[in-house]
Amino acid sequence: MTDPARMPSETSADGARSRPSRAGAFWPPVLFVLVLLLLRSIFLLGACDPSQERVVETLAEAQAVADAVPGAPWPSGPERPLYDREELYCGTAAEAIRMELGVPLPLYRFMSYGGGSLLTALLAVPLYEIGGAHYLTFKILGLLVTLVGGLFWFLTVRSWLGERAGRWFALLYLFGPPLLVRTALIAKGDHPEAMAILGVVAYLATRAARSAPHRITTGWAAASGLVAGLAVWVTYSIVPGLVGFGLAAWLRSRLRPLRLWAAFLAGLALGLVPWVLWVVRVPDALELYGEGLGAAAAAGEALARLRLLLQRGWMAGYELPGAGLRAMAGYVWLTMVLIGWVVLVRRRREPSALLLLSGTAVMLVAFLLGAPDASSRYLLPLYPLLLIAVLHVAIGNRRRAGAWRRRVAGGALLLLAAAG
């Protein structure tokens, strides 16, 4: 928790007050969620058409290409599909649970290191009861993850940076790179959920730190810690983001106000109980694909992953005709992110900039050194922070930048949105 006096104020990047009225504060999030629901629903109904994407053929083709040339793009179909073998497993596990086969629930986990797959399967059971055991029914969970992640990151950005930044974030999230759009719709209790839960934790912590001193804020702080702790049981993908944000909050506040930190840590300790009990019960719960959590990639592998990020524009996966256009869109996105980081570094004394830089740095290091492989899905929890970095290019600072720069940046973002 940071000191409320040091948290981002309700001002936009140009220094103008942007505190909305109660009515004004209510309707933008509602409108954003409704538009997001409409667009993603249309996308799902079209993209799940078997004539466009076939589960078995898509996965088989991807595996064949991966075996032949690791990291190569697929000859047909999107760079990041709407399907994942872990997701398909969760759907199958949900149907098995519904059939009451007598198998102990813990055995329905996809892997022993995380409870997210089991949680996803359990949440799918009532959906199957209502809509039948169909793949499109299971996709409702992915849609909910997308909505929750979008809503809470939108609320957090609006609280940190103001209304104008919130509108830019909404646009970027609605029409973001395919990696974000497609992967966030894959519910499997792992990377998409980490992206959404990290937004929830950030919003709850912001509410705790932003409330007036005379108001009861420990509840928000405790809730933030509780959600963070429970998320570790769901997926380890949340840990780098929590570490990055926590480090920045500690550096900024020096553990003040103490009562907020005490409430947060108490909630965190309580939330970690299910994870601790599972680790005690299952020794390999601290392993990822047979490797210990502390295992780091070799220096050569880390450099290869960094080159891959730079060559493929943060693996955005723009779906444009022709390799040249796809590469160009990726380079534009890469450039916008890098410029956004430069803006954030210049504003590093601001609490929001410090949080973003710290969270981004820790998650990038975790991908380069700690991810089991170089798959783009490990970047999903980082992507909201990339969106926030890019929107800094658009909102700029009216006192230091001319209107032409904001127009150019805004135009580039709109083109990227259209390409996505």
How confident is the model at residue 37, as a pLDDT?
A: 96
Measured CA to CA, the distance from residue 10 to residue 161 in angstroms comes to 7
Measured CA to CA, the distance from residue 194 to residue 380 in angstroms comes to 8
Identify residue 363 by its one-letter amino acid code: M
How confident is the model at residue 52, as a pLDDT?
A: 43
How confident is the model at residue 108, as a pLDDT?
A: 86
Rg of the chain over CA atoms, in angstroms?
Answer: 21
Nearest to 367 by CA among 380, 384, 379: 379
How confident is the model at residue 266, as a pLDDT?
A: 96
Q: What is the DSSP string of 323-387?
A: HHHHHHHHHHHHHHHHHHHHHHHHTTTSHHHHHHHHHHHHHHHIIIIISSS--GGGGGGGHHHHH
Measured CA to CA, the distance from residue 289 to residue 300 in angstroms comes to 20
* Number of other CB atoms surrounding residue 342 within 10 Å: 12
How confident is the model at residue 48, as a pLDDT?
A: 64
Helix (H) or strand (E) run with residue 145 in it: helix 135-161
> In the chain, which stretches have pLDDT less than 70?
1-24, 47-81, 212-216, 290-296, 396-420
- In this structure, are residues 136 and 142 in contact, taking their beta carbons and an 8 Å threshold? no
Q: pLDDT tens-digit profile of 27-70?
A: 899 999 999 999 999 888 876 654 444 444 444 444 554 555 54
- The CB-side HSE value for 222 (13 A sphere, CA atoms) comes to 8
How confident is the model at residue 227, as a pLDDT?
A: 97
How confident is the model at residue 6, as a pLDDT?
A: 46
Measured CA to CA, the distance from residue 8 to residue 240 in angstroms comes to 22
Provide the whole-model pTM.
0.85
Nearest to 7 by CA among 152, 223, 221: 221
Measured CA to CA, the distance from residue 217 to residue 172 in angstroms comes to 31
